[in-house]
Amino acid sequence: MSRTRVKICGTTNLPDALLSAEAGADALGFIFAPISKRLVRAEVAREASLAVGPAVARIGVFLNQGLDEVLRLAEGGRMSAVQLHGPLAPEFVLAAAQFYPVLRVVRPADLQTEAQRWAGHPAVTLMLDAPEPGGGVPLDWAALQADFPAGAWLAAGLGPENVAEAMRLLRPAGVDAVSKLEASAGQKNPQAVKAFVDAVKGS
Ligand SMILES: O=C(O)c1ccccc1N[C@@H]1O[C@H](COP(=O)(O)O)[C@@H](O)[C@H]1O
């Protein structure tokens, strides 16, 4: 079984991209949802994407945005994958997956239905998140143990202090965090980023 991948989300500037990459992150998240306090411009994301080298994935995060906008921003920011939040039609997810690997974000209530829907679609990977993305509130991992699908990623309220326990209970293929790794909204806390990556890689 391969090790759990670690994604640091909410990258809004070049120094934070570099510090996350140097800390050992497998993936950086760039939030293109206009409602977010971590919104990044495509030009900034592009500069960061080109600076972190070929081994670091760049994941564009979207919430209820049209396909043209998703593709334009993902291309402009030089993303390597897209993360899709919101009540989207399966056809929309499939259309996006023609262009980029998709992390399809689902809530706990929809996990079983979505796991069945996307089984056998290699371009679509499930990510379990809280109903309010970016809120820093952990899920009830013990309650999810029976249904958590192999290969799925986990987000919501993860940080250096609790990620090992979440991994022990759910064995996610990847973990993702933002709120608990910030000094302020959109600005990374370097010690927290490093501690989070070390906790994931040491578990
Ligand atoms: O963080 C945001 O502002 C955001 C806005 C719109 C869509 C997703 C967003 N963040 C995602 O939230 C999860 C985890 O957040 P947290 O660790 O609980 O704060 C992560 O997938 C982010 O990509």
Burial of 107 (0-12, 13-18, 19+ CB in 10 A): middle
Percent with pLDDT over 90 in the chain: 97
Give the residue numbers spanning the domain of 44: 5-201
**∠ CA(104), CA(106), CA(110), 5° rounding?**
130
Instruction: Tally the domains of the chain.
Output: 1
φ/ψ region of 101 (left if φ > 0, alpha if ψ in -120 to 50, else beta) reads beta
Whether 129 is catalytic is yes
Q: Is the pLDDT of residue 131 over 80?
A: yes
Position in ligand 1 atom list of the atom nearest CA 178:
17
Alpha helix locations (H) across 12-66?
A: 14-23, 42-51
Distance 180 CA to ligand 1 centre (A): 11
Among 16, 26, 129, 176, the active-site one is 129
pLDDT in tens, 137-170: 999 999 999 999 999 999 999 999 999 999 999 9
**∠ CA(177), CA(178), CA(184), 5° rounding?**
155
Site to probe by mutation for ligand 1, drawn from 61, 153, 184, 189 as the one with most ligand atoms within 8 Å of Cβ, is: 61
The pTM for the full model equals: 0.97
What CATH number does the domain containing 131 carry?
3.20.20.70
Is the confidence metric ipTM above 0.90 for this complex? yes
| Closest residue to atom 1 of ligand 1, CA basis | 134
pLDDT in tens, 71-107: 999 999 999 999 999 999 999 999 999 999 999 999 9
CB atoms within 10 A of CB 139: 21
Distance 179 CA to ligand 1 centre (A): 8
Q: What is the mean pLDDT of the chain?
A: 97
pLDDT in tens, 28-53: 999 999 999 999 999 999 999 999 99
CB atoms within 10 A of CB 89: 8
Q: What are the CA-CA distances from residue 35 to residues 7, 63, 152 (Å)?
A: 21, 9, 26
| Residue 65 contacts residue 42 (beta carbons within 8 Å) | no
| Closest residue to atom 3 of ligand 1, CA basis | 36
Q: Ligand 1 pocket by C-beta < 6 Å: which residues?
A: 9-10, 29, 31, 33, 36-38, 61, 63, 85, 129, 133-136, 155-158, 176-179
Position in ligand 1 atom list of the atom nearest CA 159:
17
Q: Is the pLDDT of residue 1 over 90?
A: no
Give the pLDDT confidence score for residue 203 in this predicted structure: 85
